[in-house]
Structure 1
Amino acid sequence: MITNNHQDKQLSTLRLFRRIHRQTTIFIFIFFLFVSVSGLLLGWKKNSGDFILPKSHEGTSTNFEDWLPLDQLNNMASQYLHDSISPILSTELDRMDIRKDLGMVKFIYKNHYWGIQLDGASGKLLSKGLRRADFLENLHDGSILDKYMGSNNSYFKLIYTSLIGLALITFTITGFWLWYAPKRVKKNKLKNNFSDSQKKMT
């Protein structure tokens, strides 16, 4: 009787974990899809033929003494952005990526995904293109919602990453139990059957 109760508890726990695993899958499926697809594409960003991330071009000098002032380079980048892409694009910078070893500067903007690369010495336009990798990164970590909502506190990113992290932990625990529990139940059942047969023989 005790053995049967023990088996019933194991089966009940197994059913509970299966239900949690299934319901979590339904709830979080779309988020896992975003994370997996964006993560896959980000892994290929430097091998995408400039489609996901424009390659870094080389300038004419790696010596800072030959470079134009950063303020002047920024003004030139803003002009290139408006003249060669669109006059309505915001010129508010997210960051300037200075590549001394390549002799160039990347200008990455806050409110859109266009990027500009300039020769640090001459200010010549080396490249302009969509930084799709930045969009994928924002999608991957949930910060895309903060970006479009104008939130500076990353609340959506925090909630999103917390949900994904907790879901993965739940998946790991329930997935392991769904693999292990049937083996345990089967082992106990064989053990009990053997014990019963031994009792009958005696």
Structure 2
Amino acid sequence: MPNKRQRQAKFLRKTRKLHRLSGISLFVFFFIMAVTGILLGWKKNSAEIIMPDTYKGESTDQADWLTMDSLSFLATQALFEAEGQLSEIDRIDVRPSKGSMKFLFQDRQLEVQLDATTGEPLSVGRRHNDWIEAVHDGSIVDDTLGVPHGIFKVFYNSVMGIALIIFTVTGFWLWYGPRRMRR
């Protein structure tokens, strides 16, 4: 019958093997998540490389603002003048405290910010943060392959979350286990 020290050594070897195999098999995914996570953390401090800043409009009083259909037309017009292309509006981000609106187009990398009062373009730019986020959370696979209900995204994030828990526990044990055995 193995003694206590031999059992601890055997458990430590199994822990090391699990840690190593998990790390080898998920290395690329952890690297991608880390790089995209850093980029997303810097998105508002990237000198508008990753995402355009949010600009202030003339008035925060919504009674002074132009109608939504007028602003939508002006945003589409500003996009055409700046980029030479037309695209459907995907969503509108209203910033009441700034008196501005962001119009995000089907080509999700394009954004037009308008002063909600005058309709003047405050910014026309590219939003790289949307595709970076899609790579980070795995939804790019769902979108590219047409996987319904974000199934890949849920699977990918579950695997990565469980792997991170395994790395934390096994990493701690690889640090603590030898110290415990020396006692």
TM-score by length of 1: 0.83
> In the alignment, which residue of structure 2 is the partner of 1:185?
181
Among 119, 137, 143, the alignment partner of 2:139 is 143
Moved more, 56-65 or 144-153: 144-153
CA separation in 2, counterparts of 1:98 and 1:60? 14
CA separation in 2, counterparts of 1:61 and 1:30? 48
CA contact (8 A) 1:90 1:112 kept: no
Q: Which one has the largest radius of gyration? A: 1
Moved more, 144-153 or 113-122: 144-153
CA separation in 2, counterparts of 1:27 and 1:110? 36
CA separation in 1, counterparts of 2:148 and 2:101? 26
Moved more, 52-61 or 147-156: 147-156
1:102-159 deviation digits (Å, cap 9, x = unpaired) = 2110012344311110111121111011112222222221122223334451112101
Identity level (%)? 43
1:97 Cα deviation (Å)?
0.9
* TM-aligned CA distance change 1:151 to 1:111, over 3 Å: farther
> In the alignment, which residue of structure 2 is the partner of 1:83?
81
1:63-117 deviation digits (Å, cap 9, x = unpaired) = 2122111122112212322332142x53141x21111222110012344311110
Count of matched residue positions in the alignment of Structure 1 and Structure 2: 183
1:31-80 deviation digits (Å, cap 9, x = unpaired) = 11111111112222222111111111122221212211112211221232
* TM-aligned CA distance change 1:156 to 1:82, over 3 Å: farther
> In the alignment, which residue of structure 2 is the partner of 1:156?
152
Gaps of 5+ in 2: none
RMSD (Å) for aligned C-alpha atoms? 1.8
CA separation in 2, counterparts of 1:150 and 1:75? 31
TM-score by length of 2: 0.91
Among 114, 119, 129, the alignment partner of 1:123 is 119
Moved more, 142-151 or 56-65: 142-151
SS in structure 2 at match of 1:118: strand
1:146-199 deviation digits (Å, cap 9, x = unpaired) = 233344511121011111101001101111111111112221xxxxxxxxxxxx
Matched, 1:175 2:180: no
Matched, 1:53 2:71: no
Gaps of 5+ in 1: 188-202
